[in-house]
Structure 1
Protein backbone atom coordinates (compact mmCIF):
# COMPACT_ATOMS: atom_id res chain seq x y z
CA UNK A 1 0.00 0.00 0.00
CA UNK A 2 2.84 2.35 0.74
CA UNK A 3 4.26 1.66 -2.73
CA UNK A 4 0.98 2.61 -4.29
CA UNK A 5 0.75 5.70 -2.08
CA UNK A 6 4.28 6.68 -3.13
CA UNK A 7 3.29 6.13 -6.78
CA UNK A 8 0.23 8.34 -6.32
CA UNK A 9 2.37 11.08 -4.73
CA UNK A 10 4.78 10.96 -7.68
CA UNK A 11 1.86 11.06 -10.10
CA UNK A 12 0.36 13.96 -8.15
CA UNK A 13 3.64 15.89 -8.44
CA UNK A 14 3.64 15.27 -12.20
CA UNK A 15 0.03 16.42 -12.40
CA UNK A 16 0.87 19.46 -10.26
CA UNK A 17 3.78 20.37 -12.58
CA UNK A 18 1.59 19.71 -15.61
CA UNK A 19 -1.11 21.94 -14.11
CA UNK A 20 1.46 24.71 -13.47
CA UNK A 21 2.76 24.43 -17.05
CA UNK A 22 -0.80 24.51 -18.42
CA UNK A 23 -1.60 27.50 -16.18
CA UNK A 24 1.44 29.36 -17.53
CA UNK A 25 0.42 28.44 -21.08
CA UNK A 26 -3.13 29.70 -20.44
CA UNK A 27 -1.69 32.91 -18.97
CA UNK A 28 0.56 33.30 -22.02
CA UNK A 29 -2.44 32.69 -24.33
CA UNK A 30 -4.42 35.32 -22.40
CA UNK A 31 -1.57 37.81 -22.89
CA UNK A 32 -1.38 36.96 -26.60
CA UNK A 33 -5.15 37.29 -26.88
CA UNK A 34 -4.99 40.70 -25.17
CA UNK A 35 -2.18 41.81 -27.50
CA UNK A 36 -4.18 40.63 -30.55
CA UNK A 37 -7.30 42.38 -29.28
CA UNK A 38 -5.34 45.63 -28.84
CA UNK A 39 -3.79 45.26 -32.31
CA UNK A 40 -7.25 44.59 -33.77
CA UNK A 41 -8.55 47.73 -32.10
CA UNK A 42 -5.65 49.75 -33.58
CA UNK A 43 -6.33 48.27 -37.03
CA UNK A 44 -10.05 49.05 -36.69
CA UNK A 45 -9.26 52.62 -35.67
CA UNK A 46 -6.93 53.03 -38.66
CA UNK A 47 -9.54 51.46 -40.95
CA UNK A 48 -12.20 53.86 -39.69
CA UNK A 49 -9.81 56.77 -40.24
CA UNK A 50 -9.04 55.49 -43.73
CA UNK A 51 -12.76 55.16 -44.53
CA UNK A 52 -13.28 58.74 -43.39
CA UNK A 53 -10.40 59.95 -45.57
CA UNK A 54 -11.65 57.95 -48.57
CA UNK A 55 -15.13 59.46 -48.14
CA UNK A 56 -13.63 62.95 -47.88
CA UNK A 57 -11.57 62.32 -51.03
CA UNK A 58 -14.66 61.03 -52.82
CA UNK A 59 -16.58 64.17 -51.88
CA UNK A 60 -13.58 66.30 -52.85
CA UNK A 61 -13.43 64.49 -56.19
CA UNK A 62 -17.08 65.32 -56.76
CA UNK A 63 -16.43 68.96 -55.97
CA UNK A 64 -13.48 68.97 -58.37
CA UNK A 65 -15.86 68.29 -61.22
CA UNK A 66 -17.18 71.80 -61.82
CA UNK A 67 -18.19 72.93 -65.31
CA UNK A 68 -21.17 74.71 -66.82
CA UNK A 69 -22.42 76.18 -70.07
CA UNK A 70 -25.57 78.22 -70.53
CA UNK A 71 -27.21 80.30 -73.25
CA UNK A 72 -29.66 83.19 -72.93
CA UNK A 73 -32.89 81.60 -74.20
CA UNK A 74 -34.56 78.22 -74.02
CA UNK A 75 -36.72 79.05 -77.07
CA UNK A 76 -37.92 81.90 -79.27
CA UNK A 77 -35.94 85.02 -80.09
CA UNK A 78 -35.28 88.28 -78.29
CA UNK A 79 -33.48 91.58 -78.64
CA UNK A 80 -32.22 92.79 -75.26
CA UNK A 81 -31.44 96.47 -74.66
CA UNK A 82 -30.34 99.13 -74.96
CA UNK A 83 -30.28 100.08 -71.26
CA UNK A 84 -28.93 103.23 -69.58
CA UNK A 85 -26.69 101.20 -67.25
CA UNK A 86 -24.93 97.84 -67.09
CA UNK A 87 -27.66 95.21 -66.68
CA UNK A 88 -27.23 91.63 -65.40
CA UNK A 89 -27.71 88.96 -68.05
CA UNK A 90 -29.70 85.88 -67.07
CA UNK A 91 -28.72 82.76 -68.98
CA UNK A 92 -31.87 80.61 -68.82
CA UNK A 93 -30.90 77.66 -71.02
CA UNK A 94 -28.52 75.53 -68.96
CA UNK A 95 -26.70 73.27 -71.41
CA UNK A 96 -24.59 71.56 -68.75
CA UNK A 97 -24.15 72.04 -65.02
CA UNK A 98 -21.60 69.56 -63.70
CA UNK A 99 -21.02 69.98 -59.99
CA UNK A 100 -24.17 72.13 -59.65
CA UNK A 101 -22.07 75.32 -59.72
CA UNK A 102 -24.05 77.40 -62.23
CA UNK A 103 -26.97 78.55 -60.14
CA UNK A 104 -25.92 80.48 -58.20
CA UNK A 105 -22.59 81.18 -59.88
CA UNK A 106 -20.60 81.01 -56.66
CA UNK A 107 -17.31 79.17 -56.48
CA UNK A 108 -17.82 75.91 -54.54
CA UNK A 109 -14.08 75.46 -53.84
CA UNK A 110 -10.96 77.64 -53.87
CA UNK A 111 -9.18 77.19 -57.16
CA UNK A 112 -8.30 78.35 -60.65
CA UNK A 113 -11.35 78.63 -62.92
CA UNK A 114 -11.62 79.43 -66.61
CA UNK A 115 -14.58 81.36 -68.04
CA UNK A 116 -15.64 82.14 -71.62
CA UNK A 117 -18.33 84.47 -72.93
CA UNK A 118 -19.71 84.77 -76.44
CA UNK A 119 -21.91 87.77 -77.27
CA UNK A 120 -23.96 88.38 -80.43
CA UNK A 121 -26.14 91.29 -81.53
CA UNK A 122 -27.50 93.30 -84.44
CA UNK A 123 -25.21 95.88 -85.97
CA UNK A 124 -26.47 99.38 -85.24
CA UNK A 125 -24.97 102.84 -85.78
CA UNK A 126 -25.81 103.99 -82.23
CA UNK A 127 -25.57 100.76 -80.22
CA UNK A 128 -22.73 98.32 -79.66
CA UNK A 129 -22.94 94.67 -78.64
CA UNK A 130 -21.15 93.87 -75.42
CA UNK A 131 -21.03 92.24 -72.01
CA UNK A 132 -18.73 92.35 -69.00
CA UNK A 133 -17.68 89.39 -66.85
CA UNK A 134 -17.65 90.47 -63.20
CA UNK A 135 -16.18 88.91 -60.08
CA UNK A 136 -18.02 89.99 -56.92
CA UNK A 137 -19.30 92.98 -58.92
CA UNK A 138 -15.81 94.02 -60.14
CA UNK A 139 -15.26 94.42 -63.91
CA UNK A 140 -12.82 91.69 -65.03
CA UNK A 141 -13.02 91.29 -68.84
CA UNK A 142 -15.29 92.52 -71.60
CA UNK A 143 -16.58 91.10 -74.85
CA UNK A 144 -17.43 94.05 -77.15
CA UNK A 145 -18.09 94.79 -80.81
CA UNK A 146 -19.55 97.84 -82.58
CA UNK A 147 -20.45 97.90 -86.23
CA UNK A 148 -23.13 99.92 -88.01
CA UNK A 149 -24.79 97.03 -89.90
CA UNK A 150 -25.10 93.25 -90.13
CA UNK A 151 -24.55 91.20 -86.96
CA UNK A 152 -21.76 91.77 -84.47
CA UNK A 153 -20.14 89.06 -82.42
CA UNK A 154 -17.35 88.99 -79.90
CA UNK A 155 -15.80 86.64 -77.40
CA UNK A 156 -13.45 86.71 -74.45
CA UNK A 157 -12.11 84.39 -71.81
CA UNK A 158 -10.22 84.59 -68.56
CA UNK A 159 -8.70 82.37 -65.88
CA UNK A 160 -9.29 83.54 -62.30
CA UNK A 161 -8.30 82.44 -58.83
CA UNK A 162 -11.57 82.22 -56.90
CA UNK A 163 -12.24 81.82 -53.21
CA UNK A 164 -15.20 79.78 -51.95
CA UNK A 165 -18.33 81.90 -52.41
CA UNK A 166 -16.92 84.34 -55.00
CA UNK A 167 -19.70 85.42 -57.37
CA UNK A 168 -19.20 85.45 -61.15
CA UNK A 169 -21.81 86.82 -63.54
CA UNK A 170 -22.22 88.78 -66.79
CA UNK A 171 -23.62 92.27 -67.24
CA UNK A 172 -24.79 93.65 -70.56
CA UNK A 173 -22.78 96.76 -71.44
CA UNK A 174 -24.76 99.98 -71.13
CA UNK A 175 -26.36 101.28 -74.34
CA UNK A 176 -25.68 97.96 -76.08
CA UNK A 177 -28.03 95.56 -77.86
CA UNK A 178 -27.88 91.76 -77.74
CA UNK A 179 -29.87 89.37 -79.91
CA UNK A 180 -30.50 85.68 -79.34
CA UNK A 181 -32.73 82.96 -80.78
CA UNK A 182 -32.94 79.16 -80.97
CA UNK A 183 -29.37 79.10 -82.32
CA UNK A 184 -28.06 80.11 -78.87
CA UNK A 185 -25.55 82.72 -80.06
CA UNK A 186 -24.86 84.08 -76.57
CA UNK A 187 -23.21 81.66 -74.16
CA UNK A 188 -21.45 81.77 -70.82
CA UNK A 189 -19.25 78.84 -69.76
CA UNK A 190 -16.89 78.09 -66.92
CA UNK A 191 -15.00 75.22 -65.36
CA UNK A 192 -12.63 74.50 -62.50
CA UNK A 193 -9.10 73.89 -63.76
CA UNK A 194 -7.64 72.79 -60.42
CA UNK A 195 -8.08 73.33 -56.67
CA UNK A 196 -5.68 75.56 -54.77
Structure 2
Protein backbone atom coordinates (compact mmCIF):
# COMPACT_ATOMS: atom_id res chain seq x y z
CA UNK A 1 0.00 0.00 0.00
CA UNK A 2 1.57 3.32 -1.06
CA UNK A 3 1.60 6.44 1.12
CA UNK A 4 -1.39 8.01 -0.68
CA UNK A 5 -3.52 4.89 -0.08
CA UNK A 6 -2.41 4.85 3.57
CA UNK A 7 -3.41 8.51 3.95
CA UNK A 8 -6.80 7.84 2.36
CA UNK A 9 -7.37 4.82 4.63
CA UNK A 10 -6.42 6.90 7.68
CA UNK A 11 -8.83 9.66 6.57
CA UNK A 12 -11.66 7.13 6.23
CA UNK A 13 -10.97 5.84 9.75
CA UNK A 14 -11.11 9.41 11.10
CA UNK A 15 -14.45 9.99 9.35
CA UNK A 16 -15.83 6.74 10.83
CA UNK A 17 -14.72 7.87 14.30
CA UNK A 18 -16.32 11.29 13.71
CA UNK A 19 -19.62 9.64 12.81
CA UNK A 20 -19.75 8.02 16.26
CA UNK A 21 -19.10 11.40 17.89
CA UNK A 22 -21.61 13.00 15.51
CA UNK A 23 -24.49 10.76 16.65
CA UNK A 24 -23.91 11.69 20.29
CA UNK A 25 -23.47 15.37 19.46
CA UNK A 26 -26.72 15.49 17.44
CA UNK A 27 -28.61 13.85 20.31
CA UNK A 28 -27.18 16.41 22.75
CA UNK A 29 -27.94 19.35 20.46
CA UNK A 30 -31.50 18.17 19.92
CA UNK A 31 -32.00 17.56 23.65
CA UNK A 32 -30.77 21.08 24.38
CA UNK A 33 -33.33 22.48 21.90
CA UNK A 34 -30.60 24.45 20.13
CA UNK A 35 -31.91 23.37 16.73
CA UNK A 36 -33.16 26.79 15.59
CA UNK A 37 -30.24 28.77 16.95
CA UNK A 38 -26.99 27.72 15.31
CA UNK A 39 -24.09 30.05 14.49
CA UNK A 40 -20.35 30.06 15.07
CA UNK A 41 -17.23 32.05 14.24
CA UNK A 42 -13.67 31.13 15.11
CA UNK A 43 -10.15 32.19 14.18
CA UNK A 44 -7.42 29.64 13.52
CA UNK A 45 -5.32 30.74 16.49
CA UNK A 46 -6.67 31.79 19.86
CA UNK A 47 -3.48 33.81 20.48
CA UNK A 48 -0.02 34.34 19.09
CA UNK A 49 1.02 34.09 15.46
CA UNK A 50 2.51 31.61 13.07
CA UNK A 51 2.10 29.12 10.27
CA UNK A 52 0.21 25.86 10.45
CA UNK A 53 1.70 23.29 8.07
CA UNK A 54 3.02 22.12 5.77
CA UNK A 55 2.03 18.51 6.48
CA UNK A 56 2.63 15.45 4.29
CA UNK A 57 -1.12 14.70 4.18
CA UNK A 58 -4.36 16.66 4.07
CA UNK A 59 -5.09 17.88 7.61
CA UNK A 60 -8.29 19.01 9.32
CA UNK A 61 -7.87 22.55 10.63
CA UNK A 62 -8.98 23.24 14.19
CA UNK A 63 -10.09 26.84 14.67
CA UNK A 64 -9.45 27.46 18.37
CA UNK A 65 -10.18 31.19 18.74
CA UNK A 66 -13.94 30.80 19.20
CA UNK A 67 -15.75 34.14 19.17
CA UNK A 68 -19.26 32.66 19.18
CA UNK A 69 -20.67 29.15 19.20
CA UNK A 70 -24.42 29.50 19.55
CA UNK A 71 -25.97 26.05 19.79
CA UNK A 72 -22.53 24.40 20.30
CA UNK A 73 -22.59 22.74 16.87
CA UNK A 74 -18.92 23.66 16.24
CA UNK A 75 -16.38 21.58 18.14
CA UNK A 76 -13.25 23.67 18.91
CA UNK A 77 -11.30 20.51 19.80
CA UNK A 78 -11.81 18.75 16.46
CA UNK A 79 -12.59 21.65 14.09
CA UNK A 80 -15.81 19.92 13.00
CA UNK A 81 -19.24 21.51 12.65
CA UNK A 82 -22.12 19.03 13.09
CA UNK A 83 -25.57 19.96 11.76
CA UNK A 84 -28.14 19.49 14.54
CA UNK A 85 -31.13 19.60 12.15
CA UNK A 86 -31.88 19.33 8.46
CA UNK A 87 -31.64 22.79 6.92
CA UNK A 88 -29.87 25.33 4.78
CA UNK A 89 -26.55 26.42 6.30
CA UNK A 90 -24.12 29.07 5.12
CA UNK A 91 -20.35 28.84 5.68
CA UNK A 92 -17.53 31.29 5.00
CA UNK A 93 -13.79 30.90 5.41
CA UNK A 94 -10.86 33.27 5.08
CA UNK A 95 -7.20 32.32 4.85
CA UNK A 96 -3.98 34.28 5.03
CA UNK A 97 -0.74 33.49 3.26
CA UNK A 98 2.54 34.94 4.48
CA UNK A 99 5.55 34.84 2.15
CA UNK A 100 7.45 31.63 1.53
CA UNK A 101 7.77 28.69 -0.80
CA UNK A 102 4.48 27.04 0.22
CA UNK A 103 1.09 28.22 -1.00
CA UNK A 104 -1.99 28.40 1.24
CA UNK A 105 -4.81 26.11 0.10
CA UNK A 106 -7.79 25.26 2.26
CA UNK A 107 -10.86 23.28 1.23
CA UNK A 108 -14.32 23.11 2.77
CA UNK A 109 -15.37 19.49 3.24
CA UNK A 110 -18.86 18.05 3.76
CA UNK A 111 -19.01 14.46 5.06
CA UNK A 112 -15.53 13.76 3.70
CA UNK A 113 -16.25 15.18 0.24
CA UNK A 114 -14.52 18.29 -1.07
CA UNK A 115 -16.89 21.22 -1.81
CA UNK A 116 -14.94 24.51 -2.32
CA UNK A 117 -11.35 25.85 -2.04
CA UNK A 118 -9.53 29.04 -1.24
CA UNK A 119 -5.96 29.42 -2.54
CA UNK A 120 -3.32 32.11 -2.14
CA UNK A 121 0.42 32.14 -2.76
CA UNK A 122 2.78 34.89 -1.70
CA UNK A 123 6.54 34.58 -2.15
CA UNK A 124 6.90 37.61 0.11
CA UNK A 125 4.44 39.78 2.01
CA UNK A 126 0.85 38.89 2.85
CA UNK A 127 -2.14 37.78 0.82
CA UNK A 128 -5.63 36.55 1.60
CA UNK A 129 -8.25 34.35 -0.04
CA UNK A 130 -11.85 33.58 0.88
CA UNK A 131 -14.80 31.46 -0.16
CA UNK A 132 -18.30 30.67 1.01
CA UNK A 133 -21.13 28.27 0.29
CA UNK A 134 -24.72 27.53 1.24
CA UNK A 135 -25.37 23.82 1.75
CA UNK A 136 -28.40 21.68 2.44
CA UNK A 137 -27.36 19.53 5.39
CA UNK A 138 -29.09 16.62 7.05
CA UNK A 139 -28.98 16.27 10.84
CA UNK A 140 -25.60 14.73 11.65
CA UNK A 141 -23.79 15.93 8.52
CA UNK A 142 -20.32 17.29 9.26
CA UNK A 143 -18.49 20.24 7.71
CA UNK A 144 -14.87 21.20 8.32
CA UNK A 145 -11.89 22.88 6.67
CA UNK A 146 -8.98 20.87 5.37
CA UNK A 147 -5.47 22.18 4.81
CA UNK A 148 -4.20 20.54 1.64
CA UNK A 149 -1.06 18.44 1.70
CA UNK A 150 2.18 20.51 1.48
CA UNK A 151 0.34 23.82 2.03
CA UNK A 152 0.37 26.30 4.91
CA UNK A 153 -1.96 28.79 6.54
CA UNK A 154 -0.95 31.80 8.63
CA UNK A 155 -2.76 33.54 11.47
CA UNK A 156 -1.89 36.15 14.05
CA UNK A 157 -3.50 38.37 16.68
CA UNK A 158 -5.56 40.13 14.00
CA UNK A 159 -7.32 36.80 13.27
CA UNK A 160 -7.18 36.91 9.46
CA UNK A 161 -7.76 33.15 9.09
CA UNK A 162 -11.30 32.32 10.18
CA UNK A 163 -14.20 29.90 9.75
CA UNK A 164 -17.86 30.81 10.31
CA UNK A 165 -21.21 29.21 9.71
CA UNK A 166 -24.87 29.48 10.61
CA UNK A 167 -28.25 27.92 10.05
CA UNK A 168 -30.21 30.01 7.58
CA UNK A 169 -33.44 28.09 8.16
CA UNK A 170 -34.50 24.54 9.12
CA UNK A 171 -36.26 22.43 6.49
Confirm or deny a common fold (TM above 0.5): yes
Moved over 2 A (4+): 59-62
Q: 1:117 aligns with which of 87, 93, 113?
A: 93
Pair 1:140-2:115 in alignment: yes
Larger RCO, structures 1/2 (Cα 8 Å, 6+ apart): 2
When you count helix as a share of all residues, which structure comes out higher?
A: 1
Distance 1:180 1:60, change over 3 A: closer
* Structure 2: 5+ residue stretches without partners: 1-30
Number of equivalences: 137
Alpha carbons 1:129, 1:152 under 8 Å: kept: no
Q: 5+ residue gaps in structure 1?
A: 1-58
Q: 1:60 deviation in Å?
A: 9.8
Q: Counterpart in 2 of 1:190?
A: 165
1:57-107 deviation digits (Å, cap 9, x = unpaired):
xx8974211100011111111211112221110111110011111125110
Q: How does 1:1-196 map to 2 (within 5 A)?
A: 62-103=34-75, 104-124=80-100, 126-196=101-171
What is the RMSD of the two structures over their aligned residues, measured on CA atoms?
1.7
Q: Distance in 2 between matches of 1:158 and 1:177?
A: 22
As a proportion of its length, which structure holds more strand? Answer: 2
C-alpha displacement of 1:147: 2.9
Q: Normalising to structure 2: TM-score of the pair? A: 0.75
Largest Rg, 1 or 2: 1
Assess if the C-alpha contact under 8 Å between 2:97 and 2:121 holds in 1.
no
CA distance in 2, matches of 1:151, 1:175: 18
SS in 1 for 2:35: helix
The answer to whether the 8 Å contact 1:130/1:172 transfers is yes
